[in-house]
Amino acid sequence: MTALGGSAILLDMQEGVASNTHSLATSIVADESIALFVFLEKFPFSSVGSIIGILLVTSFFVTSSDSGSLVIDSITAGGKLDAPVGQRIFWATTEGTVAAVLLIGGGLTALQTAAITTGLPFLIILLFMCYSLLKGLRLEYAKDKQFEKDMDRKLYEEKLSNVIIKKLEQENKS
């Protein structure tokens, strides 16, 4: 996507320099949903490019939906990855139905608002998880340092006792 975005910016800049118009940017600002197709019209074989673009976007959405269904299915199955197929189909259908209802009912804005609204509580949970992880890592680090100190002390005591024993043995021999 970076290559397409960078190419679109370059085309718009070149068009702006050559004719002092920015038809690509103007078209995209007017309707974002046609941005890819307006961009591809600037190249030869734009219909082939459009078909490939539609296939890529479709595969992106299908793959993302499948991944989301797999995750929620795994969560509801108690962490099992080999949950019943019917359950996975249920979650995929439910996810698709909710997305379709939101798109039909309020368009893309409703879908974006729903995504943000459902993501906000998860953000709070993630912040608590980050705090817990930090707390756990600090505790682990403190235990590790204490263990190193204890081991160093034991090693020092062993060496000291060996030196004392050798010294006493030498004194007893003489």
Q: Answer whether 52's CB lies under 8 Å from 42's CB.
A: no
Conformation bin of residue 43: beta by default, left when phi > 0, alpha when psi is -120 to 50 = beta
Residue, of 137 and 110, whose pLDDT is higher: 137
What are the residue boundaries of the structural domains of the chain, listed by start?
44-173
The pLDDT of residue 68 is 83
Burial of 164 (0-12, 13-18, 19+ CB in 10 A): exposed
**Rounded CA gap, 47 and 55, in Å?**
12
113 and 103 in contact (C-beta within 8 Å)? no
**Lowest-confidence segment of 56-65, 74-83, 89-98 by average pLDDT:** 74-83
Tell me the pLDDT band of 17, cut-offs 50, 70 and 90: low
pTM: predicted TM-score of the whole model, two decimal places: 0.52
